[in-house]
Structures are given as C-alpha cells and as structure tokens.
Amino acid sequence: MESKPPVLLTGPHYWDGDFACAEGAIAAGCRFLAGYPITPSTEVAERIAERFPLVGGTFIQMEDELASMAAVLGAAWAGARAMTVTSGPGFSLMQENIGLGVMTETPCVVVDVQRGGPSTGLPTLTGQQDMMQARWGSHGDYEIIALSPSSPQECFDLIITSFNLSEKYRVPVMFMMDECVGHMTERVVVPALSSIKVRHRRWYRGARDKYHPYVPAKDGVPPIVKAGDDYRFHITGLTHDQRGYPVINAECQHQCVSRLVGKIKDNTDRIVILEEDRTEDAEVVVVSYGISYRVATRAIDLARQQGIKVGSLRLVTVWPFPERRIIELAKKVKCLVMPEINMGQVFLEMERCASCFCRTRLVPHCGGWVHDPNDILKAILKGVKS
C-alpha cells in the first residue's frame, strides 16, 4: 500500500509566517477552514487548500467573510476544529458572527494578518491596528482571547496554543498576526507529532437526557456536545438560560453576560502568556507585542549599551490584558514604554493600569512599516529621565 503523506512535516523548514500558521493549524488538528482571499493573509488559505486534501481536511472558499465566519461556527458545532483567516476589511465583516461565537461559546480560531487601515488602507503593508477591534469589534459586552506571534516559528507554535485556549475556554480566539510576520521567511522547526500537545474538546460526559448546553463547570466553562449525537440541543444568539433557551429579561442577561465575561476575566492569570527580559533591575520597561517586540528588543539593546536599565515585557497574549503584572511593574519602574504600529490602542489599557504608579509613553506608528528602533530608544531615554 502506498503510504499516505505525513500529517506533520516534522523537521526544519524555511517558511513564511502565513505558511507556518497553516501548518500549525494542521498540527493542532484543524480540519475545516472557510475563508475569502485577502492580502496579506491569502497564503494561509492557499497553503491549506493545498495541504488539506493530503491530511483529511475540508477547505471551502466562501463568498465573503460573513459567510466564512458563519461556516466556521457551523463546522465547530458539527464537531470539527475550525478556523478562518482574513485581514482588516474581512475582519470587520466577521465581527457580528464572532459575537455569535462568543455568545454560543463556540471553540474556533480567527486569524487576522493585520495590514494598515482604516478601510482598504495599505493592503500589502503592515499594521497593528486591529487590536482594539479584536477586543471590542462585535457589539455587546464580552471578553476575548487574542495572541500575537512575533516570528514564523511562533505562527506555528502559537496557533496551536490558540486552538487549545479556544477549546479550554470555549471562545473564538483571535490570532493577531501582521503583514511583517506573515510575509517574513525564517527557519521554522516542526516538532514530532508526539511532542505537540493538543487539548481535546470539553465533551460532555453525563447522561444524555440531563444535558443542558450552558451549565458551567467550576471554571465557568460549560462542557460541549456536537450535532448528530442525539442530544438534540438548541443554541441561540439571543440571551439564553442554561438550557440554551432564549429568555429576554435583565436577570437572565445578567447571568448570561457575567458568566461569559467571568470565564475569561476570572481565569486571566491562567490564560496570560508573558515573556520578560531584564526587568529585575529595570527603570524603564518596554511593553510590546507582535513584530514590534522584535524592534523593541533592538532598542532595548541599544539602551543597555548606554548603561540604561531597561527591560522588556512581551505580551504573547494581548487579551485578556495582563493587568496584574503591568501594575506590579508600574509600581517599581519610572516609565512603561509601548511601541505599537497604530496610534495607541493596547497602550490605552496599559495607561489605565499604570498611570497611577508611573509614567507611560506611547511610540505610535501609522503603519506601512515597523518602527525605527531609535524612536523607541528616544522614548526610553525620556522615560528614564522622568
């Protein structure tokens, strides 16, 4: 018998971030992707279209991003690990159904390879301008999880983490890449299948006739079932009770929304992934994420060469925001500096947490390219004087 191609291409490769993201999704067990082409994310879908027929996945190019997101939710409820991939304009179109995903607690992943906006903006050039849209893009109150990779290797590794978090917390996870990371080609090492940890879905294990879709476990997250297994359940985007039935009143709204928010908020410390470097003696800490983290590292090195005590806090998860750690650092440093390829988005959260305790400095950038490390260095120098 001819051997089937391996699911995982274990070994070293020279891949761009988009390819690595696609391969990481396959490694995470993703077998359904619905998408609509958009620069600079298209290569993810292209890679998936090529690879899925070899690994037992279904790819469909939908008619738009509204459809893509809806199809992902449908596939997830049929029991598939599902994702979609897009960039700014498509991300905007997905928002209503991301909200449905939040409300119905549907595990799935949304990849946004960010480009400069607003509107069609800079289709081929980088930006980090969808960070607040990831957080608040759909209407209503909710909490979300968002990760931001800084390299093609992390596009592979962290998309797996994203799927795992989406399963654990039953929430759509936003994978916030950017054009730079998506199109940069670097060494990516795919580990052996056995060393990849994939979290299973939180399948309901109780009696069939006792199943209610929204009875939470201790951590606030309800176990799940899938269509076709004779639970004959109902889910709705309307405010609902534990049976999943619509109940249109303030009490039910309170219960429903406070649990949706609480299951993320109360587990923030478990969800948050941070990387810290040289913060022990730091007078200034540069807080950054995604591609900006790598530029910040250069600025930090330059500052250290001048004898300035500066450290780095990298947000691997951007949402939920790591309030606790920011406050701790703010209490011991003179200044927190944040470079972002936007006019100040995640910075607002940092400022909210830190401004009682230390100074904060934004290094904005309108998009189209990454920061000049010297601009970050200048902010560090100003910060250390304050």
Partner 1 sequence: MKRLDVTLGQDLRHPLEEYLRMDRIPHVWCPGCGIGTTLNAFLTAVKKSGIPRKDIAVVSGIGCSGRAAGYVKLDSFHTTHGRAIPFATGLKLANPKLTVVVFAGDGDLLAIGGNHLIHAARRNMDINIICINNFNYAMTGGQFSPTTPEKARLTTAPYGSYEHPFNVPFLVDSCGATYVARWTALHVRRLTNSILEALHHPGFSFIEVISSCPTVYARRNRLGTGLDLLKFYRDNSVIKNGANTRECDIRFQEQLIVGKFVDQEKPTYHDTMTEYLSQSVGKRYVPYQGPMQGKEEDGN
Question: Based on the number of CB atoms within 10 Å of its own CB, is 361 exposed (0-12), middle (13-18) or buried (19 or more)?
Answer: buried
Other Cβ atoms closer than 10 A to 49: 16
52 or 321: CB nearest partner 1: 52
219 or 229: CB nearest partner 1: 229
Determine phi and psi for 236, rounding to 5 degrees: -150, 155
Distance of CA 49 to the CA centre of its chain: 22
- For the CB of residue 108, give the shortest distance to partner 1 in the complex, in Å: 10
Which residue reads 């999880």 in tokens? 145
- For the CB of residue 190, give the shortest distance to partner 1 in the complex, in Å: 12
2 or 281: CB nearest partner 1: 2
Give contact residues for partner 1 (rule: CB under 8 A). Answer: 2, 4-5, 7-8, 26-29, 31-32, 34, 53-58, 60, 62-64, 66-68, 70-82, 96-97, 100, 193, 196, 198-201, 203, 225-238, 243, 245-246
97 or 360: CB nearest partner 1: 97
Cα–Cα nearest to 288, from 169, 375, 182: 375
100 or 381: CB nearest partner 1: 100
79 or 364: CB nearest partner 1: 79
Which residues make beta-bridge pairs with 361?
A: 337
Roughly what angle, to the nearest 10 degrees, separates helices 42-55 and 17-27?
40
- For the CB of residue 230, give the shortest distance to partner 1 in the complex, in Å: 4
- For the CB of residue 157, give the shortest distance to partner 1 in the complex, in Å: 14
- For the CB of residue 2, give the shortest distance to partner 1 in the complex, in Å: 5
Cα–Cα nearest to 200, from 178, 170, 174: 170
CA distance 328 to 263: 23
CA distance 71 to 63: 11
- For the CB of residue 68, give the shortest distance to partner 1 in the complex, in Å: 7
